Amino acid sequence: MAMLRHHAIFAAATFALLFPSSFAHAQSGADPFASLVAAERDFAADAQRIGITGAFRAHAASDSVLLTPEPVAAPERLAKQRDTPGLTLEWHPSVAGIARSHDLGFTTGPYRMVDGGRVLAGQFLTIWSRGADGRWRWFLDHGLPPQAAEGAASLPTQVIRLADAAQAKPEGEVGQSLELAEQALNAGYLEKGVAALLPVLAEDGYLLRTHVGSIAKPDAARLAPDTRRFARAEQLGTRISGAGDLAASYGRLVPATGAPAYYVRVWRRDGVTWQLLIDELV
């Protein structure tokens, strides 16, 4: 959820810090998925309690990354950020998933910014890592840029849990198999555009797109074709769960001319096959 908020924060010149937060009580003793959702909700609550920048700092992992749009170390960048006076940011998770090893998870959902009299809205995507202390901290925060919104739509109160990976021990080198899956997807994307995503997108997966928001797979085929064409794809980073069943990747798609687009993906591995759970392109 953070990048969405991160994008909102950069779009409105706002951000976050490291702060002993109120959310620790919600994580200790809770089941792992419930504690993941609680971490996201506490993150959002802290944005109201201590400010946007303070909340981002408080919930960031020591190796957290922001795409600005190029990836940068979040702690150093956040240390220099200050909140924009009068700007508020709210968000709630609506979809989440977790690795079987309970050390990696993700959340996504809508956010709402109010800047003076303007109401803006978008979709966030946050990749979470869980430390040895049992606490969830965000590793990668990204999201769709804010768009003008009509009124103050209600934020969701329920969270859809996407299915865990099939309980099968992966064979071979997990990192290498993920890299091959990503290379194949990027090669297909360069040739066919969004059509290349659909065979790889899990039945319960989602696309995140500017001006559209979150699109479930049954609706993805009806998405208007993306007319952009890219000359090359560059993977910039990955994070894989200890169980080898859930992963996040991020990178850029570079056109022959003009500015690149940046992606964040969440992958789920069933046996030896990686499928996309989330594909966000900004």
The pTM of this model reads 0.89
Specify whether the CB–CB gap between 178 and 267 falls below 8 A.
yes
Q: Name beta bridge partners: 65.
A: 73, 140
25-81 pLDDT, tens digit each: 445 557 999 999 999 999 999 999 999 999 999 999 999 999 999 999 999 999 999
Residues 54 and 183 placed together within one structural domain of the fold? no
Q: How far apart are the first and last CA of the chain?
A: 14
Structural domain harbouring 98: 2-161
Amino acid at 16: A
Residue 121 lies in a domain: yes
- Provide the token pair at 27: 């994580």
Q: What is the pLDDT of residue 246?
A: 97
Residues 227 and 204 placed together within one structural domain of the fold? yes
Q: Which of 10, 262, 18 is nearest to 113 (CA)?
A: 10
- Provide the token pair at 109: 């959902």
Q: What is the pLDDT of residue 264?
A: 98
Q: pLDDT by residue for the chain (282 residues), tens digit each? A: 444 455 444 443 333 323 334 444 445 557 999 999 999 999 999 999 999 999 999 999 999 999 999 999 999 999 999 999 999 999 999 999 999 999 999 999 999 999 888 999 999 999 999 999 999 999 999 999 999 987 666 899 999 999 999 875 555 688 889 999 999 999 999 998 888 999 999 999 999 999 899 999 999 888 777 778 899 999 999 999 999 999 999 999 999 999 999 999 999 998 889 999 999 999
Task: Please say which residue of 112, 137, 161 terminates a domain.
Answer: 161
Q: Which of 190, 159, 160, 182 is nearest to 240 (CA)?
A: 182
Residue 220 lies in a domain: yes
Q: Which of 129, 135, 144 is nearest to 237 (CA)?
A: 129
Give the CATH number for residue 233: 3.10.450.50
Pairing of strands 273-281, 261-270: antiparallel
Q: Could you give the 3-state DSSP secondary structure of residue 138? A: strand
